[in-house]
Structure 1
Amino acid sequence: MSNFTLHGIVPPVVTPLTKDYQVDEKSLRKVIRHLIDGGVHGLFLLGSTSECVFLNAKQRAEVISIALDEAAGKVPSVCGTMDPTTDRVIDNAKQAKALGVDGLVVTSQFYTRSSQNETIDHFSMIQDAVNLPILAYDIPVCTNLKLSRETLREMYDRKLICAVKDSSGDIENMRMLGLDFANEPDFAILSGSETVVDYALLGGAHGNVPGLGNVDPAGYVRLYNAARAGDWVAARKEQERLIRLFQIVFQGVPHTSPNASGVGGFKTAMHLMGLIEHRHMSRPNRVLPDAAVAKVKEILIAAGLL
């Protein structure tokens, strides 16, 4: 696993849907080209922004196959395997491995309550069954379990994981995690927040997994490059521009849930930009109302994307 490293901007790829809620191959290929042309350093297929838990096994396989074919090995790819139970995750992981992904993304179990020790067992069973590099996905808002620093360290020491995507919103904990792994160059810490990327990189993170990167991948790459060059003034300026663009995620509330407003905001922006044919999400998530679409358009114009 030490030979596989992730860094830089690795967006969780939006899954475009046809009118009848199937994977839209033409639009997905356009999205992959948009991301690679924007300079991203990797692709995260079937993440939360990808609406992964709404997709059945056939649809997941289609997303992976289409994306990998279009990417043609230009950047590494990791694939989400999210499901409530260990055996179902193993099935997803085996499918992803057979289709050719470079690594897996695994959360703790969800719906059923779990412990830190059971979570370590969960990761161990998946690694034993599939033997691919695993990125631990810390997203307690969806799993009801925060991956502790001790758990991450034990899983790393046991060679179960090679990286973590921190979507916990706890930047103080992520900063301490950076110190925990300061002497482990083969372990990557990736922030899942779109709005504090400059802070995370200054604190030692190796990259970012921004859903908003589907809309403006080049902006996040500029931010990353400025930070890596030590130009923190330029990094802050780009981050603040992206924060203004990030306001698209709030426009659907209260018509939609916050989650649907977020993914719906991304899809609406991408539809307006001509990247995807349809902007609806998986059922029962509502599309953004017309007033919200108009506001998203205003924000895109102000950001220089329309």
Structure 2
Amino acid sequence: MTLTSPTGVIPPVCTPLTPDREVDVPSLLRLVDHLVTGGAHGLFVLGSTSEAAYLTDGQRRLVVESVAAHVAGELPVLAGAIDMTTPRVLDHVASVTAAGADGVVVTAPFYARTHPAEIARHYRGVAAASPVPVIAYDIPVAVHTKLPADVVLELAADGVLAGLKDSSGDLAAFRHIVTGARDRQGLTGFRVLTGSELVVDAALTLGADGAVPGLGNVDPHGYVRLYDLHRSGDLEGARAEQERLCALFGLVTVGDPARMGAGSSAIGAFKAALHLRGVIDCPVTAEPQVPLAQDEVERVGKYLAAAGLL
């Protein structure tokens, strides 16, 4: 992977916290080492899995500074610059790039309703001010806007976007962008990454350049194996590895939906798994997310054992 051409397995790094909800830097750096040892081709900090929406601006900067200094250029570090409007995003771009980020990952504006023309203005404004490549982040479940494929392709053709992280779960739209990028002149450097853990093999078959799987925090080796098997032409092996990872992904469902949301359950399970694997000191999630109960943590352990990770 290079700065301008993100490819391969790029885990969205969890943000370990102390019991009083400060960034646990030693645990964060152990997690980074765990991902590097697992074969990750790059790192994405300050995304949804990183709980970026819950972190203060100071905590966001600390995460980027710590990770960028630790990897010291050995792996590219992408950082989320995620906020409601263009001026606020530009503040984050300035902060994370000063802290060492090699690229920024940016959603559409949110809270205020936006028109496709306004989304395009947003990305053009961010790219014009950013000293590093800009990757669009399509996550409609969080920002309530689906990035239009024609807008993404136009921005890519104009050199505004270096890539797309697609967490929409819409494989048909994903195919549209992959084929559109392949068919257009001058888009050979535009990279399309899937953020959907359960269909990485399918996305790679469609032409994805890589994956940004939250579950990759727990089992980076598995996603790197999947990617390598697919690239080598062993589609049956890649399918088998994907199905193993799909079974492991069941750990995100351990939280009781009567008392917590899906985000609390998933992030809590990722952190519980990392704690059980001895990677991070504390599995606490950011407020106001609801923590897993002890019996739910025990169920996470059963998923890990079934996957051969304990």
TM-score by length of 1: 0.98
- The one-letter code sitting in structure 1 at the alignment partner of 2:303 is I
Say if 2:217 is the partner of 1:211: no
CA distance in 1, matches of 2:3, 2:35: 24
- The one-letter code sitting in structure 2 at the alignment partner of 1:211 is G
Match of residue 223 from structure 1: 226
Say if 2:285 is the partner of 1:281: yes
Say if 2:139 is the partner of 1:135: no
Deviations 1:245-292 (A, max 9, x none): 101101113132001111111001001111111111110101111121
Match of residue 264 from structure 1: 268
- The one-letter code sitting in structure 2 at the alignment partner of 1:260 is S
CA distance in 1, matches of 2:146, 2:229: 31
Runs of 4+ in structure 1 deviating by more than 4 angstroms, as ranges, are none
Match of residue 295 from structure 1: 299
Q: Secondary structure of the residue that 1:164 maps to in structure 2? A: strand
Q: Secondary structure of the residue that 2:192 maps to in structure 1? A: strand
CA distance in 1, matches of 2:137, 2:116: 14
Match of residue 250 from structure 1: 253
Q: Secondary structure of the residue that 1:252 maps to in structure 2? A: coil
More off after superposition, 127-136 vs 55-64 = 127-136
Deviations 1:134-182 (A, max 9, x none): 1100011111111111100111122110100111110111112111011
Report how far residue 79 of structure 1 moved: 0.4
CA distance in 1, matches of 2:289, 2:56: 17
More off after superposition, 190-199 vs 287-296 = 287-296
Q: May I ask how many residue pairs the two structures share in their alignment?
A: 305
CA distance in 2, matches of 1:213, 1:38: 9
Match of residue 86 from structure 2: 86
CA distance in 2, matches of 1:237, 1:3: 31
Q: Which runs of 5+ in 2 are unaligned?
A: none
CA distance in 1, matches of 2:97, 2:115: 27
Equivalent residues in 2 for 1:80-229, closer than 5 Å = 80-183=80-183, 184-229=187-232
Q: Which runs of 5+ in 1 are unaligned?
A: none
Report how far residue 200 of structure 1 moved: 0.4
- The one-letter code sitting in structure 2 at the alignment partner of 1:43 is L
- The one-letter code sitting in structure 1 at the alignment partner of 2:49 is T
Equivalent residues in 2 for 1:11-50, closer than 5 Å = 11-50=11-50
Q: Is the 8 A contact 2:3 2:102 kept in 1?
A: no
Compared CA separation, residues 286 and 3, structure 1 to 2 (3 A): closer
CA distance in 2, matches of 1:163, 1:207: 11
Q: Secondary structure of the residue that 1:195 maps to in structure 2? A: helix
- The one-letter code sitting in structure 1 at the alignment partner of 2:33 is R
- In angstroms, what is the RMSD of aligned CA positions? 1.1
